[in-house]
Amino acid sequence: MREVTGSTWVFQIMILFILIFACFLALVLNYSKAYRVKNEMLSIIEKYEGITTQSSKIINNYMNGQSYTTKGQCPQDEDVTWYGAIDLEGNYEEAIANSKYYYCFSQVSQPSDSKDYLYYDIIVFYRFNLPFLGDIATFNVHGRTNSFVGSNNLIGGTE
C-alpha cells in the first residue's frame, strides 16, 4: 500500500510540471506572434516613411493574414498623442482612456538643423490564455522605428 501512495504523489507532481510547461509554451507562442507582427509593422512604417493610407492598408492586410485579433488599451500620456486602430480596415482615432484597440501608435518629431526627422512608437498586444481558464492577462509589446524624414500624407500627428 505504501508503494501505491508514493507513486501517486510522483504522478501528481509529474502532471503539475506538464501543466506548467504547457502554460509556458502557450505564453511563448503568443508572444512570438505579437513580436513578429510588431517587427513587420516597424518595417512597413519605415519603408513607406510613416503611417500613410498605403502603409495602413498593408499593415492591416498583414495583421488580417496573421489572424491578429488581440485588443488592448493605449497609454494615456500628456506629452505624446497616441492613436489607436479601431478596426483592421484603416480606421484610427485619438486614443481614449478605457477603450480597446488592435494596435496603438504615436508619431514623435525630432527637429534637426536642416530637416524634421520623426519616428514612430507602436504597441501591439498579446494575450495569455489557457483553454479551460480563458484569458488570464493581456500584455504590451513596444517597438520604435528608426528616425526618418516623413512622407507628405501622414495619418495622425504632423503633416
Extents of the domains making up the chain: 2-149
Whether pLDDT at 4 is above 90: no
Residues 31, 13 contacting (CB under 8 angstroms): no
Count of other CB atoms within 10 angstroms of residue 28:
10
Whether pLDDT at 94 is above 70: yes
Cβ neighbors of 106 (< 8 A, separation 6 or more) are: 77, 80, 81, 82, 83, 120, 121, 156, 157
pLDDT in tens, 28-38: 887 888 899 99
Name the band, by pLDDT with cuts 50, 70 and 90, for residue 79.
confident
Q: In whole angstroms, what is the distance from residue 123 CA to residue 139 CA? A: 10
**Spacing of C-alpha 45 from chain mean position:** 15
pLDDT at 15: 92
pLDDT in tens, 107-143: 888 766 667 788 899 999 988 776 667 777 888 999 9
Residue 15's identity, in one-letter code, is I
pLDDT at 155: 67
Per the DSSP assignment, residues forming a β-bridge with 119 are: 108
**pTM over cut 0.85:** no
Q: In whole angstroms, what is the distance from residue 29 CA to residue 62 CA? A: 18
